[in-house]
Amino acid sequence: MIKASYEELLERIAKLSGLSKEEVEKRVEAKRARLSGLISKEGAIQVVAAELGIKFENIKLKIADLLAGMKRVNVIGKIIKMFPIKQFERNGKTHKIVSFLLADDSDIIRVVLWDTNHIALVENGKIKEGVTVEITNANVRGSETTKELHLTSYSNIELSNVVLENVKEKQEVKQTQIAKLNANDRAKIRAVVVHVFDPFYFSICPECKKRVDSVCDVHNAALHRVLLSLIVDDGTANIRVLCFTRPTLELFNINADTPEQESKQVMALRNKTTDEIKAELLGKEFIFEGRVRKNTQLNVLEFVANKITAVDPSQLVEELAKM
């Protein structure tokens, strides 16, 4: 089942069938009416696609067009980053897995190989960083923002002579609205701080990485860390943002290059009262980059920040002027 949003499917199917979006929608509604509304719009549009003869497996797709849930898709792309082969044990047997980033001029996607024949191509150096490959019969897993291309033993990967131009070099995290966030999304949100919780200070041993009260008994060392929780709002919804040490320092525009410098800056931050911290942050707008996770205890989504940048007020004025 394709997990793309209805809007995305609608656009894709209209493009592939040559029908207008309105016409495709009309067919979806007719299908639903015939089934007395027992089928969702997402389900009905896939039935319509099948009736229109649209089989995603016959089309070579751009990476940006790969939708979570698609099966047997074909793409051509350049391997821009190869990750090391990993081994893991399952049922007493050793398995291998390897992944790489595949790019074309539209987007970048992580590709995962499980099949021993495919992994052998990486081991013998045929498939490597910098080459262009054609992949057939692969499945798109994950959600829209965490999608990955998985090859099974039915999939094929081979070198391609196609010369791709304007290949993307960096994975862009898309800016989105808080109301549209899903668990496990990597995302960028632009939002205003509306609540600041008391910061939580703690110390860890740099060697054994464990929490310590003052210093580690074994290594006689400690690094000071902080966890700051905020509630931010972008007008569509609000969400709790968890800021560990580095992102917290970024909130205060403090630079620290090493863990030791970070530790010193956390000590300095400790001298501020919660009221002072609130006065500095409340009402300020930032761009938060990070990952969405589900807090299963509270059954809500949280945003774990890994990079925070203040929105430059002059840039904001420029954007408003353009509107």
Interacting stretch for Zn ion, rule CB under 5 A, among 55-63, 126-134, 182-190, 200-208? 200-208
* Residue 58 vs 220, nearer CB to Zn ion: 220
Instruction: Work out whether 208 is an interface residue with Zn ion (CB under 5 A).
Output: yes
Q: How far is the CB of 267 from Zn ion (least distance, A)?
A: 19
* Residue 51 vs 217, nearer CB to Zn ion: 217
Instruction: Work out whether 216 is an interface residue with Zn ion (CB under 5 A).
Output: yes
Q: Are 158 and 138 in contact (CB under 8 A)?
A: no
**What interhelical angle do 6-17 and 41-51 show, nearest 10?**
10
* Residue 129 vs 217, nearer CB to Zn ion: 217
Question: Residues 277, 228, 315, 317: is their CA dihedral positive or negative?
Answer: negative
* Residue 179 vs 208, nearer CB to Zn ion: 208
* Residue 86 vs 219, nearer CB to Zn ion: 219
Instruction: Work out whether 206 is an interface residue with Zn ion (CB under 5 A).
Output: no
Return the bridge partners of 156, or none: 136
Report strand pairing: 238-243 vs 300-310. parallel
Name the H helices within 160-244: none
Interacting stretch for Zn ion, rule CB under 5 A, among 20-28, 35-43, 202-210, 283-291? 202-210
* Residue 191 vs 216, nearer CB to Zn ion: 216
Question: Within a 10 A sphere around the Cβ of 221, how many other Cβ atoms?
Answer: 14
Size of the site for Zn ion (CB under 5 A): 6
* Residue 93 vs 209, nearer CB to Zn ion: 209
CA–CA separation, 111 vs 120, rounded Å?
A: 15
CA–CA separation, 44 vs 54, rounded Å?
A: 14
* Residue 222 vs 242, nearer CB to Zn ion: 222
Interacting stretch for Zn ion, rule CB under 5 A, among 87-95, 207-215, 235-243, 281-289? 207-215
Instruction: Work out whether 219 is an interface residue with Zn ion (CB under 5 A).
Output: yes
3-state secondary structure of 70: coil
Q: How far is the CB of 214 from Zn ion (least distance, A)?
A: 12
Instruction: Work out whether 23 is an interface residue with Zn ion (CB under 5 A).
Output: no
Instruction: Work out whether 215 is an interface residue with Zn ion (CB under 5 A).
Output: no
CA within 13 Å, CB half, 62:
13
Instruction: Work out whether 59 is an interface residue with Zn ion (CB under 5 A).
Output: no
Interacting stretch for Zn ion, rule CB under 5 A, among 4-12, 78-86, 204-212, 292-300? 204-212
Q: How many DSSP H helices and E strands does the chain contain?
A: 8, 14
Instruction: Work out whether 207 is an interface residue with Zn ion (CB under 5 A).
Output: yes
Closest CA to 103 of 82, 121, 77: 77
Closest CA to 144 of 186, 207, 189: 186
Instruction: Work out whether 205 is an interface residue with Zn ion (CB under 5 A).
Output: yes
Interacting stretch for Zn ion, rule CB under 5 A, among 116-124, 211-219, 223-231, 267-275? 211-219
Closest CA to 31 of 20, 21, 19, 43: 43
Query: What are the residues binding Zn ion (CB under 5 A)?
Result: 205, 207-208, 216, 218-219
